[in-house]
Chains A and B, each alone.
Chain A
Amino acid sequence: MSDSLRRIAAIVRADFLLRFRRPSTLVVFLLLSAFAYLWIPAPSTGRALIQIDGHRAIYNSGAIGLGTASLGMMFVGLFGYYVISNAIRRDIISRCGVIAASTPMRSGEYLLGKFCGNLAFLATFLNGFMLSSMAMLIVRGEAQIEPLVFVEQYLLLTPAAIIFVSAVAVLFESIPFLSGKVGDVFYFFFWMTFLGLAVGDQVSGGRMNWARCFDSADSVS
């Protein structure tokens, strides 16, 4: 393995260990799992995860996989950013970053290491969430568990969010103006805007004119 890869791997490993040893990671994971429990209500409550024309979708691997992967995607999209957006800040505060800057490591290696560290954390986190969702399927007990169907749903829905959030977190931390509270607030509105657009598009049945959103004169029809 080249020095460059070893450096990137070392950053990923250190970031991974640091985050998973934080008690707050466990708290967030448990909260998310509890939310999944509420997200997939027991049939006896009269509520349902997915309803089509008044018919409740049975709780099988496909339905629960889809529901929890959607929840995980939204969670990663918003809260994931706040969980991972301290990787570079931590190095600055601890001054370990100053030592790193005095080593032969290139800036690109450092940023790639931080990005991959974010990816590894969020992917592992969602993997754990997927396993707890599988447990939910067993709890609700309406169908046999099909792990591959679960994995398929997660692979379809979550990688884009993980990559996007990991990249944005590193980008924001690398821009002095956006690193810190300003970036945190900006990201919230950024995410809400895109969520609003996506939901708006769904509600309008795909007929939403995207260009109109950015046209202050409202001249595009």
Chain B
Amino acid sequence: MLIIDAVSKRFRAGNYGVRDVSLDLKSGVIGLLGPNGAGKTTLMQMLATVTRPTSGHIAFQGVDIAARPNELRRRLGYLPQDFGVYDNLTALEFLDYFAALKGVHSKKRVLEMLETVNLHTVKDRALGGFSGGMKQRLGIAQALINDPALVIVDEPTAGLDPEERVRFRNVLSEIGFGKLVILSTHIVSDIESIATEIAVMKEGALLTIAAPEVLLRGAEGHVWESVVPSEEFERLRATLKISSAVRKPDGVHIRFVGPAGALGANAAEPELEDAFLHLMNAEDAPSVHAR
């Protein structure tokens, strides 16, 4: 469906935002995971035809999107990072506006989308009074208004409270059927339950793309659990890649990625957060492009 072939984006300063990324994506929810500055947004902008690659090609259903961007734009839903709204418009007016820009003329469709994201009861309220979660849900509604085949959402849960994040995740998981949804984030929990494949980026390069199970298997034997005294925990924090820590009466229960060392740690079953940490910190990051 979407082929990314050796795509790079070089900025005027000479540095690369994205370097030599290749992917072949079918339908499903693809989680694009990486720390801030990994090049996720730059890659998303190129996929959304907002910027062009400096080298390489992107083809959607066989059509080069740099040469014929409108072929993709008609079937694209895009929610950029830090998406804002026009505060003085109502939800209905806002969605109507983007529907017109995308060539959707059905008022019924606009109302349906507001219902899908559960904003139909506040459709006549000015957007200035909306919470961050409501704005993001409106953002996903505008992305889906033209029934796109490709949906690109960039860091959609940034700034949302935990409850809103869960609600937004549910909306995304419901729309994934039959479409290609690319969701970029640096928060593992955003994608662990909904992604069919996870692409991990670091410093502009693609480290790997694999199903979550494959990533988890890759971290087996590298994840450990131990209980350490509070004072030792402060010291260990600086040296170990700790994925979680919980203070309990008997000490701090830590979970870390790397060699067990002399802590008397027990092997633990990897979770996606551990697998991500393992990938980020492995000197010899696996170059598996496993599918």
Measured between alpha carbons, how far is A95 from B101 in the docked complex, in Å? 15
B80 lies within 8 A of A98 (CB): yes
Q: Across the interface, which residues of B come within 8 angstroms of A10, CB to CB?
A: 96-97, 100-101
Q: Which of A6, A7, A14 contacts B89 (CB 8 A)?
A: A14
Q: Across the interface, which residues of B come within 8 angstroms of A98, CB to CB?
A: 45, 48, 50, 78, 80
Which among A29-37, A56-64, A99-107, A201-209 touches the partner chain? Answer: A99-107
Q: Across the interface, which residues of A come within 8 angstroms of B76, CB to CB?
A: 102-103
Q: Across the interface, which residues of A come within 8 angstroms of B101, CB to CB?
A: 7, 10-11, 100, 103, 105
**Nearest B residue (CB) for A1:** B105
Q: B230 contacts the other chain (Cβ, under 8 Å)?
A: no
A94 lies within 8 A of B102 (CB): no
B142 lies within 8 A of A6 (CB): no
Size of the A side of the interface (Cβ < 8 Å), in residues, is 25
Known: A95-B80, A99-B142, A102-B76. A17 touches B89 (CB 8 A): yes
**Closest-CB distance, B117 to chain A (whole angstroms):** 16
Q: Which of A9, A11, A102 contacts B50 (CB 8 A)?
A: A102
Q: Across the interface, which residues of A come within 8 angstroms of B70, CB to CB?
A: 104
Q: B109 contacts the other chain (Cβ, under 8 Å)?
A: no
Q: Across the interface, which residues of A come within 8 angstroms of B126, CB to CB?
A: 21
A18 lies within 8 A of B89 (CB): yes
From 45 to 96 in chain A, residues with beta carbon under 8 angstroms from any chain B beta carbon are 90, 93-96
A104 lies within 8 A of B102 (CB): yes
Measured between alpha carbons, how far is A10 from B102 in the docked complex, in Å? 11
Known: A10-B97, A17-B88. A99 touches B105 (CB 8 A): no
Measured between alpha carbons, how far is A110 from B101 in the docked complex, in Å? 9
**Closest-CB distance, A190 to chain B (whole angstroms):** 29
Known: A14-B93, A102-B49. A3 touches B83 (CB 8 A): no
**Closest-CB distance, A213 to chain B (whole angstroms):** 39
Q: Across the interface, which residues of A come within 8 angstroms of B96, CB to CB?
A: 10
**Nearest B residue (CB) for A3:** B103
B82 lies within 8 A of A95 (CB): yes
**Closest-CB distance, B224 to chain A (whole angstroms):** 42
**Nearest B residue (CB) for A101:** B50
Q: Across the interface, which residues of B come within 8 angstroms of A95, CB to CB?
A: 80-84
Q: Across the interface, which residues of B come within 8 angstroms of A181, CB to CB?
A: none
Known: A3-B103, A103-B101. A18 touches B88 (CB 8 A): yes
B100 lies within 8 A of A6 (CB): yes
Measured between alpha carbons, how far is A18 from B97 in the docked complex, in Å? 12
Measured between alpha carbons, how far is A102 from B81 in the docked complex, in Å? 14
**Closest-CB distance, B123 to chain A (whole angstroms):** 15
A99 lies within 8 A of B98 (CB): yes
Q: Which of A14, A18, A99 counts the most B-chain CB atoms under 10 A from its CB?
A: A99
Known: A100-B101, A102-B73, A104-B102. A17 touches B84 (CB 8 A): no
Known: A94-B84, A94-B85. A103 touches B102 (CB 8 A): yes
**Closest-CB distance, A76 to chain B (whole angstroms):** 22
Q: B247 contacts the other chain (Cβ, under 8 Å)?
A: no
B88 lies within 8 A of A102 (CB): no
Measured between alpha carbons, how far is A14 from B86 in the docked complex, in Å? 9
A14 lies within 8 A of B142 (CB): no
A96 lies within 8 A of B93 (CB): no
A7 lies within 8 A of B100 (CB): yes
**Nearest A residue (CB) for B85:** A94
Q: Across the interface, which residues of A come within 8 angstroms of B142, CB to CB?
A: 99
**Closest-CB distance, A2 to chain B (whole angstroms):** 10
Q: Across the interface, which residues of A come within 8 angstroms of B50, CB to CB?
A: 98, 101-102
Q: Across the interface, which residues of B come within 8 angstroms of A18, CB to CB?
A: 86, 88-89
From 38 to 61 in chain B, residues with beta carbon under 8 angstroms from any chain A beta carbon are 45, 48-50
Measured between alpha carbons, how far is A17 from B94 in the docked complex, in Å? 11
A103 lies within 8 A of B89 (CB): no
Query: Top 9 nearest A-B pairs by Cβ distance?
Result: A10-B100, A94-B84, A21-B88, A102-B78, A102-B48, A103-B101, A98-B80, A104-B73, A14-B97
Binding site for A on B (CB under 8 A): 45, 48-50, 70, 73-74, 76, 78-86, 88-89, 93, 96-98, 100-103, 105, 126, 142-143
Of the A-B pairs whose beta carbons lie under 8 Å apart in the complex, a sample of 29, sorted by A's number, is: A3-B103, A6-B105, A7-B100, A7-B101, A7-B103, A10-B97, A14-B89, A17-B88, A17-B93, A18-B88, A93-B84, A94-B85, A94-B86, A95-B82, A95-B83, A96-B84, A98-B50, A98-B80, A99-B78, A99-B79, A99-B80, A99-B142, A100-B101, A103-B76, A103-B101, A103-B102, A104-B70, A104-B73, A104-B102
A95-B81, A98-B50 are known; give 4 further A-B pairs, CB within 8 A.
Answer: A10-B100, A17-B89, A98-B80, A103-B101
